[in-house]
Amino acid sequence: MLWKESQVRNEGLPGGPGMAPDERWSISELSTYRWTFEEDIFRYRKAGFGAVGIWRPKLADYGELKGKELLDEFGLRVSSVSWAGGFTGSDGRSISDAIEDALEAIRLTRELNCQTLVLMVGSRDGHTRKHAARMVRSALKELVGAALEYEVQLAVEPMHWGCAHDCTFLTDIPQTLDLIAPLTPGPIGIVFDCYHLGHDEATQQWLPHWIPWIKLVQLADAHDAPRGEQNRCLLGAGGLPIRELVECLERYGYEGFYEVELIGEQIEHGDYLQMLDKTRHSLHGLWQPGGSNS
C-alpha cells in the first residue's frame, strides 16, 4: 500500500496559510436544499460564513456566469464543487459521458477560483470490485491531466457502507487510498467526511497518517450510523467525536476548509436560518480551548 509510505507532518496547531480559523469554515449548499443559489449566497454571508460548497445543480439553475458574479459581489470563496463521477455507469450514463461531465466540472471549479472538485466514483453496478476499480482508475487517469492544467484537486469521497450503495463502492479510506495510489503524486486525494468516517473508533488512530491526502473535510454529527438514507444532525447534537477529529486534523497539519454538510429529515424540515446560527456557534466552540461544539 503506497499510501502508507508517506511521512506525516506535525507542525503544532496551524491556522492555515494566511487564513484565520473562521475563514476556513464553509457551508455546503446541500444543507439548505429548499433555498435557491441566490438565497444561499446572501444568507450564508449574512450569517458570517466566508465560503460555500457549491452544488452544481443549484448553480446551473441560476447560471454559471451570474453565479460567479454573485460570489464575487458578496466576497464568498468556494470550498468545493460537488460533484462529478459515476465512472462505473451506475447512474445510467456511459463512462465517456461521465468523463466529459467531469472535465466540464474541472473547468467550472477553476472558473470559480476553487481548488477542490468532489468525486463520487459510482457504485459497483453489478461489476466485480476489481473491475469497478479498474474502470474508475482508468477514468481518473484521463482527469488527472486536466486537473493539473487547471490547478484543481480531485477529491474522491468514501462513504459509510450503510448509505453508499447508490453513489460509490468505496466505503473506507484505506481502499480509497489504494485505488488512487498509482496516480500519486498528483492532483488527487480524498474527502474526509466525519459523518461517514467518524463512527469507526480506529479513525482517530489512523487519521494522522491520512492527512497528507485529505483535500477537504466535511463536518456533520449523527445519532446513529447511517442505514439507508443519510440523516445528519447539527454539530454537537449527536455522538460523533467531532472535537477530537478536528483537534487531530489541526495538530497534524491539515490547512484546508471545514465544510459543514447537513442532510436528512431533521435538517430538511428545520429552520435554515436557525441552523446556520447554531452551526457557526458550534464551530466557534470547536476552536475554543476547552469549549463545546454544542
Q: What is the CATH number of the domain that holds 256?
A: 3.20.20.150
What is the per-residue pLDDT across 56-77, written as a single tens digit (0 to 9) for each? Answer: 999 999 999 999 999 999 999 9
Look at residue 151 and tell me if it is in a domain. Answer: yes
What is the per-residue pLDDT across 113-164, written as a single tens digit (0 to 9) for each? Answer: 999 999 999 998 778 989 999 999 999 999 999 999 999 999 999 999 999 9
What pTM did the predictor assign? 0.91
Look at residue 292 and tell me if it is in a domain. Answer: no
- Residue 285 or 13, more confident: 285
Look at residue 45 and tell me if it is in a domain. Answer: yes
Give the pLDDT band (50/70/90) at residue 1. Answer: very low
Look at residue 5 and tell me if it is in a domain. Answer: no
For all residues of the chain together, what is the average pLDDT? 91
What is the per-residue pLDDT for 90? 79
Does residue 9 surpass a pLDDT of 60?
no
**What are 290's three cell numbers?**
476547552
What letter represents residue 239's amino acid? G
What is the per-residue pLDDT for 101? 98
**Dihedrals phi, psi of 275, to nearest 5 degrees:** -60, -45
Long-range Cβ contacts of 175-183 (<8 Å, 24+ apart): 177/1, 177/3, 177/210, 177/213, 178/1, 178/3, 179/133, 179/136, 179/137, 180/137, 180/140, 180/156, 180/213, 181/1, 181/2, 181/3, 182/2, 182/137, 183/137, 183/140, 183/141, 183/144
What is the per-residue pLDDT across 242-270, written as a single tens digit (0 to 9) for each? Answer: 999 999 999 999 999 999 999 998 898 89
Q: How far apart are CA 247 and CA 262, in angstroms?
A: 21
Give the list of residues 6+ apart from residue 60 with CB closer than 8 angstroms, or none: none
Give the range of the structural domain holding residue 113, as residue numbers without chain letter: 39-286
CB atoms closer than 10 angstroms to residue 248? 17
Look at residue 13 and tell me if it is in a domain. Answer: no
For residue 169, the 8-state DSSP code is: S
**Dihedrals phi, psi of 256, to nearest 5 degrees:** -90, -165
Look at residue 52 and tell me if it is in a domain. Answer: yes
**What are 107's three cell numbers?**
473547468
Q: What's the rounded mean pLDDT across residues 2-11?
A: 37
Kindly state the greatest CA–CA separation across the chain: 51
What is the per-residue pLDDT across 28-50, written as a single tens digit (0 to 9) for each? Answer: 999 999 999 999 999 999 999 99
Q: How far apart are CA 154 and CA 187, in angstroms?
A: 6
Contact (Cβ atoms closer than 8 angstroms) between residue 53 and residue 261? yes
**What are 79's three cell numbers?**
470550498
In total, how many domains does the chain have?
Answer: 1
CA distances in angstroms from 211 to 107, 146, 202, listed in the order given:
26, 24, 15
Look at residue 74 and tell me if it is in a domain. Answer: yes
Look at residue 140 and tell me if it is in a domain. Answer: yes
